[in-house]
Structure 1
Amino acid sequence: MKKWFKRIVIGTAALALVAVVGAALFLLTFDPNTYARKLEEAVLEKYQRVLTIEGDVELSLFPRIGLTLTGVSLSEPDSEATFASVDRARVAVAIWPLLSNSLVIDNVMVEGFGVNIVRNEQGQLNFQDLLDDPADAPAVDAQADSKTEDAASHVAASGSERVRRSTMQIDIAGLDLRQGEIAFVDQASGTHVKLANLAALAGRVTFRQPFDFSLTGRLEGDAPHTDADLTANAVLMLDPDAMKYAVQKLDVQVTGALGRATAEPLSLRGNLTYDAVVRAFRIGSGELAFRGQVETGEGLLEQVESGLSVPAAEFDLSSLMLSGDKLTARAKGQRAAESFEFALDLPKYALGLGEIRDTAATARFRLFGAGRTLDAQLDLAPIQGEKGIFKSDSLSMDATLEQQGRKVGIALVSPAQFEAAETHFSLPGLTGQVVLEADDASLTIPLDANLQIKGKAEELALDLAAVLEPAPAPIPVAEAASDAATGETAAEVPEPAKPAPVIEGPGRTAELKATLSKWSAKPAFDVNLKAGRLDLDRLLPFAVAFAASEVAQLQPEENAKATEDEAAGSAEVPAAGTDAEPAAEQPAASPAAAAQDKDAQQPEKPRTVYAGKVQLAVQQLIFQGQQIDDISAQATLRPDDLQVSRFGLRAYGSALTGKLSLGGTGAEPDQWHLTLQGKGLEMQPLLSHWAGFDYLSGAAELQLDLRGQGLEPAYWLNTLSGKARLRMPDGKLHGIDLGELARLDDLLQRKGVLSTGDGVARLTEFKALDAALTFDSGIGTIDRLTFSHAAVTFRNSSGRLDLPAGTLDLTTTARLNNVSISTGGVKTSVRRLDVPLRISGPWSGLNYQVQWQGLAEGALKGALAPLLQGLLPGSEPAAPDAAATQAEPAASAPGSARQRVEELGKALKGLFGK
């Protein structure tokens, strides 16, 4: 017995000695760096990546297996660029638990690690090759449906098999990650951001036991600009046996600049569970909230508070379906003087790439402040569909805009359909109405339309028909009431304005057909509008009022200053018929000065990027009380170039035709060229409506060839150039009787000023008028003026028409025929007399003044000789000039020479105003 015991002890000691010696020999001879080189070769062969371990691999076996690595890096596939790197990593594993199939790690420490993630233009990530395993990759049939019950059963069965194979138990005492950096570059979108100063800590990590996890870092980037702090805390649980992984009590906070947004902060909270057996994520108490400000193209959104709430939802990876019972989104904030609110509710939803079930939605947007309120609501009936074709029985929208006591309401409803493959959205039966309310009147416009939007083909088509109903008569104002107790009459109430007469004409249906295509590259559109009758006076008053109120709110100081300047300018204009000398002419602005003032005067206009064609046909148009018939136009619009090849209309008794161009190659985008011609144009209603005066009547032939720049009258009037011609075979000048020029006796009493006014007697019926003007910088120079009257004919005319100032300065010679002159009892007549005449002043009150100085030095000097001889004592009248003058003796001559001399002095004084 002792012998066997002795042998056992000796054997055991020998084995121990061998083990110790073997371990010693192993430690003395084992070189882990040799295996590191083999690992580098294996990675290069399998992944075509370069694994580099710069430092020596440190290995310890007792009392724990410890491994320390320094200077480890992994390159991109077939590239020298670094994908991931670690400055230093250390892990220590307990030896004895390995004998019981358990992995106990005392500590894991990684310091100075970095990862560069790149997504190329095709959407592939630079680490995709590390995840793909060709041996395990399933064959994919592009024509097969990925969502079948057999596939789900196969996933469940494979998951159960994995549960049976997983027997290793892991216990990590702690995880410490320091000084990390993760960079992300998206080559398709140009995004370049990184998570720097990354640090992560985890408590004791054990399967099926929750443990704490925390992470901190800083988000940085240039595209978009990012500079924010990141903190995250959660409770994690790993259960590989059941293939379930959970993130509980997740709390992520991001504070700082995130592109155009500044978060104060952006937070994410909730619970997330992943079940690998059924391949589904489950979300509980999910909440995404943002507070801060956002920069937009329309301005800065301040005090923004938004949130997305998901009480319970599930995302199935097998069918790529997101489903839940409730989803809500809320947002509110402020922009300038306006506040906004947004709300979205999905009571129940099931959203997938190829299938949508029982998903209804309600959305509402409100904008209020700055004197206006916008309230819009959209209701979508449950959507049903599969294989990428989705339908809803009803999509309705109700919107109301109120401003300055005026209201616009829109109510639309239509079935809706969407085809995902072609991104085709359609509203095949869109019906509704637009209600306009302004002051005491309202207008209802029923609509019927068909809208088609094909996103993949980039095509939009709209067919719309609108019935323009007349507005009802204004609400009558109550008559003045009498107080029975006091017998006093209440304050007088003004009579209601008479409603505008209803103009009978063509039907009130307007049809619009519009298409838009290639909006991502070279947008092109085609618009065709046909209408029987358009009454813009009933359609546009509210819009003009809205625009006027906004301008008044945005530019109160500018409007007030403009009013003061206008009042000051009108006060400086002398009244017609006064002796005030005309103001000295200001030199016209030079082209160089006008070019310098261009930017200051002309507001900047955004340049269009669309190109297309427009066809217009309107039988009757009512605008500012005027009726325009038979409007037709064809236009082509290209970037910075509008060409109206031809247009025609009937207005003011004439058929007008012409062409219009705006912009063009090498031209400013707001430079225009207009040609217009028409015959039989009634001048009095035309001038009364557009110029504010009506003292010229008759039918005229008008020809215009004008160029200008700018769309605002305050600017294009100063840049107007070109030619204009007006010809009238006959007509009338109202408010002036040019026949008074032939009655010099009366002119002597008024010092040569012709009477003007609205009297019936003050009327000049002329036989012909022909005027030609050349415009430059808004100033029209009179090239030719022919005026023919029974007693007066204009000759040698010159002058200028100042459109920006609204004034006329014309100097002409009025030739008079058979003029009678009598004074001191002596009469004489002049067969032809040229009278210098100046017509000047504002258009609303022209001043007609005879230039006596030129008259005295000219033809009148010879006409006075017989008159003077008749006044001198003892003299005989001179023989009259058959072509010029003829004197007649007075019926009763003065009684004495002294009286005749006095009469002569009075005559000369009255004639020349001295």
Structure 2
Amino acid sequence: MKKLIKIITITLTAAVLLIVTGGAILGLFIDPNDYKSEIEQKALETANINLQINGDIGWSIYPSIGLDISSIKASFINQDSLAALDSARVSIMLIPLLSGDIKVKAVTIKGLELNLVKSASGNNWQPQTAATTESETTDSSDASQPSEKQPNIDIESISIIDANVTYTDQVTGDVSSISAFNLTTDRIVLGQAFNAQLSFNAAISQAKQQLFSAETIINGNFSLDPAMQRFKISALDLQLKINADKNLQLQLKADIDANLAANSIAVDNLQINSFDLQANGALKLTGPQLATITGNLALETFDLKALLHKLQVSEIQTADDSSLRKVSLSTQIRGSVTQINFDQLHIKIDQTSIRGTASYNLDSAMANFNLKGDSLNTNKYLAANTQSSNSTNASATPSTSKSASGYAKDIIIPIQPLQDLKLKGELTFAQLIYQKTTISNLDLKLDAKDGLVKILKLNMHAYGASINNKITLDARKKNLKISIKNTTKKLQIGPILADFAQADVLTGLLSTSSNITASGQSVHSIVNSLNGKVQFTLADGVVKGINAAQKMCETINSISSLGGTISTTKAVDKSTPFASIKGTLNIKNGVISNNNFKADLDAINIAGKGSVNLPLQSLNYRVGLKIQDNLFKKSCSVNNKIQGIEWPVDCKGKFSDDPMKLCKPDLKVVADLAKQALKAKLEKKLGGSIKEKKKELRKKVEDKVKDKLQGVLKGLF
């Protein structure tokens, strides 16, 4: 046995000596530059490659098998240039190679140029013939063979200097390129960590117009273990500068551990910095095809206004310049290839906190949310001039497109965003402040998909009232359909008028129930298609600034010739309390009809009926007033003969008419009542001779009554 081992050892030693000696002789006596033409011809015959060796070729056999080449160009026959190389140097130690180990000295590649071109007839990185088919098939067959033990690989270093790759699609005109590619590494031993630095520029252009360019620098500590399918990058530092419509600078730091055998990739200590924005977190991909993701992400507090300014995005102008200066976000992440879920989501905007969950489905593009906010003061986020303009001028900028009726035909509700909207969820706020209004328990529930936007509830408490709304926007067809249902219970009118109109003229509790539909995208189309029903009741209120009963009393009592008992009781205040004002509005194609208006005021009952034509901007309404003795309080007593008689007022005309001339008392009815009273008084005085003086008195009575009523009733109406 010992003799056999000795024989084998001697044989191997002799073989090595023979190879080394032969290699040395070849290196000394054979110059590869003498065979350039033969090498070029062999490349053409065997691979259809047009090879041009313009530089020198150097080689060595011992102590390392090395190759040193320069100035080489290559392309397939009848195709664009594929590759060019300034110089390359590689050498493998011979002795370790004999034992199955690969020990490589420094690898250097300079000036590599790859020019990939795709045309309508094919591409330039494949031959036009099927010469490579057998080779490719053979390679595939070899790859299917059982893998052998991985050799030990030891590379002193790798340097790639100034490499450039260009991909041109002659069909579309797109050009993508990587330029100034540089890579340097420390010693590379599989399974051991090594440092590497990488930098390159990337660009994309279309029709000779650059769309995008980026400068990239990567540093890190890498560990490669193909046998164990384990790859690590620690202290990864990626710096990216993107030049496009908007310039962007980004820095990413992380530790990455990819264990492909265990179907796991972990990204720890993740840190992303861009301008003043910093994100921290960790992510992990697991499971078959790495389809499951878990992790966490946090955006540190940042100044949104400053960020938008640096991004050259239109800045947000707010009434309070300190708003949007402190924004942050944190969340837990879990998901799959089809959906990403954000749990324990916390969004903080200045002093407002919003918590809850959200998700996004990658297949359907549907976003879901369930969020709860504490308190939000919207006044801080309104445009700087919104509050002043709302309080001083309610008119909007005139439309450039109006119909004959005066309503704008400009689109105010675009239909495409509604058709694209895919959103479902619920948002609540414990408190929300808008101008002078404080809203509590705001609850918004939304379901929008396939062009049907349903606001299932928009509920709130404000001004002592419970307000519930349901709104539907149906954009599934070209003609937008709108549906609004509302229920309001005991809304305090007084504070609303004080807050929004700076007026203290009316108090009461308003309750409404409405169901309204409309169609169209402009004010004109919505007004002309308005349909539905509104029921309203205003209860337990006061009309301030006028004592309607006293004014009515004074008006009637001024006609002293009517006879009867006249009281001189003075009103104790200038206000008119009422028990209720109520009615029903029926709306058809923009025409509002009402036949049951009723108001019970102090000592006066008011009934009304008529219509308001919104498309024509006109109204035709009749109000009847009846004097009721001591309905609430006896502020003034009138002639007992006219109690219970209806005193009519007609309101007719256009919205553009003078409001002072829009409503007038029906003087014919008033004159008839006055004439009857005067007739009775005269008959009593003349003892039945009224018929003889009828013609003489008629004109005087009519003139007298008209003059007095027109002057006095004007103060009431």
Tell me the SS of whatever aligns to 1:860.
helix
Deviations along 1:509-557, one digit per CA (max 9) or x if unpaired, are 431211334x22x35544221233233333x336999xx9xxxxxxxxx
Larger mean CA deviation between 632-641 and 310-319 belongs to: 310-319
One-letter code of the match for 2:371? L
> Is the aligned partner of 1:838 residue 2:672?
no
> Is the aligned partner of 1:534 residue 2:376?
yes
CA contact (8 A) 1:839 1:849 kept: yes
In 2, the alpha carbon distance for the partners of 1:876 and 1:257 equals: 121
CA apart distance, 1:784: 3.2
> Is the aligned partner of 1:785 residue 2:619?
no
CA contact (8 A) 1:529 1:615 kept: yes
**5+ residue gaps in structure 1?**
1-156, 178-198, 220-229, 259-275, 296-300, 401-409, 471-507, 549-560, 570-584, 749-759, 820-826, 880-896
Q: Which of 460, 465, 480 in structure 2 is aligned with 1:649? A: 460
- Matching of residues 176-195 of structure 1 within 5 Å: none
One-letter code of the match for 2:607? R
CA contact (8 A) 2:201 2:213 kept: no
CA contact (8 A) 1:734 1:764 kept: yes
Q: Which residue of structure 1 lines up, in the alignment, with residue 128 of structure 2? A: none
CA contact (8 A) 1:787 1:793 kept: yes
Q: Cα distance 1:701–1:448, how it changes in 2: closer, same or farther (>3 A)?
A: same
In 2, the alpha carbon distance for the partners of 1:746 and 1:718 equals: 46
CA contact (8 A) 1:326 1:347 kept: yes
CA contact (8 A) 2:116 2:166 kept: no
Q: Which residue of structure 1 lines up, in the alignment, with residue 279 of structure 2? A: 412
- Matching of residues 583-662 of structure 1 within 5 Å: 602-606=413-417, 613-646=424-457, 648-662=459-473
CA apart distance, 1:699: 0.2
Deviations along 1:275-321, one digit per CA (max 9) or x if unpaired, are x99799974312357999xx9xxxxx9xx9986532125899999x9
In 2, the alpha carbon distance for the partners of 1:620 and 1:363 equals: 43
- Matching of residues 791-806 of structure 1 within 5 Å: 791-800=603-612, 802=614
Q: Which residue of structure 1 lines up, in the alignment, with residue 164 of structure 2? A: 287
Tell me the SS of whatever aligns to 1:171.
helix
Q: Which of 191, 207, 213 in structure 1 is aligned with 2:73? A: 213
Q: Which of 394, 397, 401 in structure 2 is aligned with 1:563? A: 397
Q: Which residue of structure 2 lines up, in the alignment, with residue 23 of structure 1? A: none
In 2, the alpha carbon distance for the partners of 1:844 and 1:814 equals: 22
Q: Which residue of structure 2 lines up, in the alignment, with residue 703 of structure 1? A: 513
- Matching of residues 453-472 of structure 1 within 5 Å: 453-456=334-337, 458-467=339-348, 469-470=350-351
Q: Which residue of structure 2 lines up, in the alignment, with residue 311 of structure 1? A: 182
Q: Cα distance 1:696–1:174, how it changes in 2: closer, same or farther (>3 A)?
A: farther
CA apart distance, 1:906: 5.6
Q: Cα distance 1:380–1:331, how it changes in 2: closer, same or farther (>3 A)?
A: farther
Q: Which residue of structure 2 lines up, in the alignment, with residue 225 of structure 1? A: none
Q: Which of 347, 352, 359 in structure 1 is aligned with 2:219? A: 347
In 2, the alpha carbon distance for the partners of 1:246 and 1:171 equals: 26
> Is the aligned partner of 1:770 residue 2:611?
no
Q: Cα distance 1:211–1:563, how it changes in 2: closer, same or farther (>3 A)?
A: closer
CA contact (8 A) 2:548 2:602 kept: no
Q: Cα distance 1:176–1:768, how it changes in 2: closer, same or farther (>3 A)?
A: same
CA contact (8 A) 1:696 1:734 kept: yes
One-letter code of the match for 1:563? T
- Matching of residues 93-104 of structure 1 within 5 Å: none
CA contact (8 A) 1:461 1:514 kept: yes
CA apart distance, 1:427: 4.2
Deviations along 1:772-806, one digit per CA (max 9) or x if unpaired, are 1123455433353222223443335102163x89x
Q: Which of 484, 489, 492 in structure 2 is aligned with 1:679? A: 489
- Matching of residues 712-861 of structure 1 within 5 Å: 716=526, 719-734=529-544, 738-739=548-549, 740=551, 743-744=554-555, 763-800=575-612, 802=614, 809-817=619-627, 830-831=642-643, 832-838=645-651, 847=660, 849-852=662-665, 854-856=666-668, 858=669, 860-861=671-672
CA apart distance, 1:653: 0.8
CA contact (8 A) 1:207 1:238 kept: no
Q: Which residue of structure 2 lines up, in the alignment, with residue 326 of structure 1? A: 198
- Matching of residues 896-911 of structure 1 within 5 Å: 905=703, 908-909=706-707, 911=709
CA contact (8 A) 1:533 1:621 kept: yes
Number of equivalences: 567
Tell me the SS of whatever aligns to 2:358.
strand
Deviations along 1:605-664, one digit per CA (max 9) or x if unpaired, are 235667674233432222333211123354444432344445532112112234333338
> Is the aligned partner of 1:380 residue 2:253?
yes
Q: Which residue of structure 2 lines up, in the alignment, with residue 395 of structure 1? A: 271
Q: Cα distance 1:869–1:657, how it changes in 2: closer, same or farther (>3 A)?
A: closer
Q: Which residue of structure 2 lines up, in the alignment, with residue 15 of structure 1? A: none
Tell me the SS of whatever aligns to 1:861.
helix
In 2, the alpha carbon distance for the partners of 1:586 and 1:435 equals: 49
In 2, the alpha carbon distance for the partners of 1:532 and 1:801 equals: 44
- Matching of residues 72-221 of structure 1 within 5 Å: 171=38, 201-203=50-52, 212-213=72-73, 215=75
CA apart distance, 1:452: 1.5
CA apart distance, 1:700: 1.7
In 2, the alpha carbon distance for the partners of 1:678 and 1:411 equals: 46
Q: Which of 421, 430, 441 in structure 1 is aligned with 2:298? A: 430
In 2, the alpha carbon distance for the partners of 1:906 and 1:288 equals: 105
In 1, the alpha carbon distance for the partners of 2:357 and 2:499 equals: 33
Q: Which residue of structure 2 lines up, in the alignment, with residue 555 of structure 1? A: none
One-letter code of the match for 1:541? L
Tell me the SS of whatever aligns to 1:537.
helix
In 1, the alpha carbon distance for the partners of 2:708 and 2:117 equals: 93
Q: Cα distance 1:514–1:771, how it changes in 2: closer, same or farther (>3 A)?
A: same
Deviations along 1:455-494, one digit per CA (max 9) or x if unpaired, are 4353333322245554xxxxxxxxxxxxxxxxxxxxxxxx
One-letter code of the match for 1:625? K
Q: Which residue of structure 1 lines up, in the alignment, with residue 359 of structure 2? A: 515
- Matching of residues 14-93 of structure 1 within 5 Å: none
Q: Normalising to structure 1: TM-score of the pair? A: 0.49
Q: Which residue of structure 2 lines up, in the alignment, with residue 502 of structure 1? A: none
One-letter code of the match for 1:379? L
Q: Which residue of structure 2 lines up, in the alignment, with residue 234 of structure 1? A: 84
Larger mean CA deviation between 643-652 and 306-315 belongs to: 306-315
Q: Cα distance 1:610–1:855, how it changes in 2: closer, same or farther (>3 A)?
A: closer
In 2, the alpha carbon distance for the partners of 1:729 and 1:626 equals: 22
One-letter code of the match for 1:312? L
CA contact (8 A) 1:452 1:461 kept: yes
Tell me the SS of whatever aligns to 1:392.
strand
One-letter code of the match for 1:811? Y
CA contact (8 A) 2:49 2:76 kept: yes
The higher relative CO (CA closer than 8 Å, separation ≥ 6) is in: 2
CA apart distance, 1:703: 0.4
- Matching of residues 497-508 of structure 1 within 5 Å: none
Q: Cα distance 1:384–1:902, how it changes in 2: closer, same or farther (>3 A)?
A: same
Q: Cα distance 1:251–1:791, how it changes in 2: closer, same or farther (>3 A)?
A: same
